[in-house]
Amino acid sequence: METSPIPVVTVQTAPFEDQRPGTSGLRRKTAVFEGKKNYLQNYIQSVLSSIDLRDRQGCTMVVGSDGRYFSRAAIEVIVQMAAANGIGRLVIGHNGLLSTPAVSCIIRKIKAIGGIILTASHNPGGPGGDFGIKFNVANGGPSPDSVMERIHQVSRTLEEFAICPDLHIDLSRLGRQEFDLENKFKPFRVEIVDSVDVYLQLLRSIFDFNAIKSLLTGPNQLKIHIDAMNGVMGPYVRRILCDELGAPANSAVNCVPLEDFGGRPPEPNLTYATSLLDAMKGGDFGFGAAFDADGDRYMILGENGFFVNPADSVAIMAANLSTVPYFRQHGVKGFARSMATSTALDRVAKAMKLALYETPTGWRYFGNLMDSGRCSLCGEESFGTGSDHIREKDGLWSVLVWLSMMAARKQGVEQIVREHWAKLGRNYFCRFDYEGLEPRAAFYLMRDLEAVISDKAFASQKFAVGDHIYSVEKADNFEYIDPVDGTVARNQGLRIVFTDASRLVFRMSGSGGGTGATVRIYAETFERDPERHNRETQVVLGPLIAIALKISNIHERTGRRGPNVIT
């Protein structure tokens, strides 16, 4: 019996004023996407309409999610709207699950026009949590500013969207599903693919799996403890670290993706990954790691809970890339970091006589550098590191780099870190997050602080805290000129650099869920003397933090007594 073609319906709507994407797409409280009529549909239509009509017709797109609440319902809407808007094929992860690195990998592998990732990264999930929609472009990386601006402009004037409300797919059934649509010559195709396969093939081509397997299974077996934090990474950890590389099944915990991530924020830091920290402090494991909801961020812990600061992590990885076959084969071209990230990576670049690029926060700024062959490794202080194998930060890739280092050097995490400090010095670094601030208060705080540091008199100012005297060398609002295409990104964070290379950075985060504003304060100081490498980070940075609090008046102006999170 022949079924009739599925109708394409045009639905009238009205624009929303708050659909400008931020650092990582559009993030809002889940209730906004779920409860506001047409809010989700408007934004998906804006994303699809931002693609030139000639490119859109018959093209392939990738769709995945971190498994958070509302993802399945949103994927159904995306499928219905993609079909109505002329997309020819959608490739979707099994049960809707794909890590962000896997989406980037698949986009590049099958030469898709882009991909939609449903994630709010490390933000909480569940009906009371956050939801996000991120659009990655054809190179596999996040949308550049020009694309985000196009999406925003479409959203401001949108009057209608196209949808096939009668089209339904089964996300649990691997394989191809085809649908005939009204007034379409070719059927619309949906392919449900294994979430791990393509990404695993890529990792096999990068690393020496035999060397890592020997480390995890040999006579001097390294015992590891991996926390997937009930996000998307569970299937990847089990398949790659356990099945492929031989780690015992009980090495991996919290590997079942849950819509609310088990009721805790899926954020791999010392504040939220406390069960991992407690397990590592017991001394039974030599290596520990945790991943965020969508698998692009990670945290590394050594034996007895030794914490590897993410800014140190990228620097140490950079200094040891020769332990990874991919880099021995392709060479190392250069490094990049976000401005707020510590300058530890700069010291490695200088020692290796390689270029170092300082960019605004946001992984999209690394894409041009990698596409043009300028950069092999990049990182951000927010627990994200990646290389030119894809165009996203990649948590599991980072863990495999660490395991490769440990296998080649036959050393533990802490020994590798301390030897790096002894050789190049230690950058003491921390970040204070003030979350959920009243947006106007945060805006005026930053505006007034910029006025203070822009005053000519500030450039010669000295701050005395205890027996420390800090002399300002320069202060500015960071501006980035892309060396590839010349585009300029302004107002990317306030920074104060002192004559001893200490730094303070203040910036508003663009990755919140719409529940107030977040102001982040970063402090950094450099210590060459190995005798002074064992000090407590907060003690070392205390004088700088005191200066930051004094010149910003953040506690007085916000009514806060301290930050929500310290990393």
Q: Which residues are part of the catalytic machinery?
A: 121
Q: What is the DSSP letter of 330?
A: H
Strand pairing category for 224-227 and 287-291 = parallel
Q: If we measure between CA atoms, which residue out of 110, 385, 64, 77 comes closest to residue 233?
A: 64
- Would you tell me how many other CB atoms lie within 10 Å of the CB of residue 232? 33
Burial of 52: CB neighbours in 10 Å, binned 0-12, 13-18, 19+: exposed
Tokens read off for 472: 């300002």
The whole-angstrom separation of Cα 253 and Cα 251 is 7
Could you give the angle at the alpha carbon of 112 between the alpha carbons of 106 and 115, nearest 5°? 70
What residue has token string 């089990």?
238
**SS3 track for 87-133:** CCEEEEEEEEECCHHHHHHHHHHHCCCEEEEECCCCCCCCCCCEEEE
Alpha helices in 229-335, H assignment, sequence order: 234-236, 274-281, 310-319, 325-330
**SS3 track for 365-402:** HHHHHHHCCCCCEEEECCCEEEECCCCCCCHHHHHHHH
Contacts 24+ apart (CB under 8 A), 244-253: 244/200, 244/209, 244/213, 245/209, 245/212, 245/213, 245/216, 246/213, 246/216, 246/217, 247/216, 247/217, 251/223, 251/224, 251/225, 251/226, 252/226, 252/228, 253/225, 253/226, 253/227, 253/228
Q: Which amino acid is residue 346, in one-letter code?
A: D
Backbone angles phi, psi at 14, to 5 degrees: -130, 145
Strand pairing category for 468-477 and 494-498 = antiparallel
Sign of the CA dihedral with 124 first, then 155, 493, and 398 last: positive
C-beta separation of 220 from 204 below 8 A = no
Backbone angles phi, psi at 519, to 5 degrees: -110, 130
The whole-angstrom separation of Cα 271 and Cα 252 is 20
